[in-house]
């Protein structure tokens, strides 16, 4: 072991846990784009992604807020998919 290794600073680990505020902001941005859309603004791949991720992201929120966001998201998706058919 060299002397340099004895005095190395430990590598700082950044937390990868999302903040509640960050989760809310990301979901609100998604919902805002769906609210104003007359046609589906997401590609099929993006839609599948968000259908998987929204329920997971909302786990960071209080239960009532989680339920409200999931219901709103599903409602907008259903509305936009129905219009496309």
Please check whether residue 52 lies inside any domain of the structure: yes
Q: Identify whether 30 is part of a domain.
A: no
pLDDT at 8: 72
Is position 54 within any domain?
A: yes
Per the CB < 8 A criterion, the answer to whether 58 and 69 are in contact is yes
49 in a domain, yes or no? yes
pLDDT at residue 37 in the model: 97
pLDDT category at 1 given cuts 50, 70, 90 is low
Cα separation, 71 vs 56, whole angstroms: 14
Q: What is the residue range of 68's domain? A: 42-85
* Domain membership flag for residue 22: no
Evaluate whether residue 8 is within a structural domain.
no
- Cα separation, 72 vs 35, in Å, equals 9
CA atoms of 72 and 79, how far apart (whole Å): 11
Structure confidence at residue 9 as a pLDDT band (50, 70, 90): confident
Is the pLDDT assigned to residue 81 strictly greater than 90? yes
Residue 1 counted as domain residue = no
Give the pLDDT band (50/70/90) at residue 2: low
What is the pLDDT at residue 29?
98
Count of domains forming the chain: 1
């Amino acid at each position: 072991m060299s002397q340099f290794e004895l005095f190395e600073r430990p590598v700082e680990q950044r937390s990868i846990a999302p903040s509640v505020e960050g989760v809310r902001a990301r979901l609100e941005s998604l919902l805002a784009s769906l609210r104003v859309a007359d046609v589906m603004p997401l590609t099929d791949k993006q839609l599948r992604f968000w259908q998987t991720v929204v329920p997971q992201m909302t786990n960071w929120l209080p239960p009532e807020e989680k339920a409200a966001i999931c219901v709103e998201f599903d409602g907008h998706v259903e509305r936009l998919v129905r219009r496309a058919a």
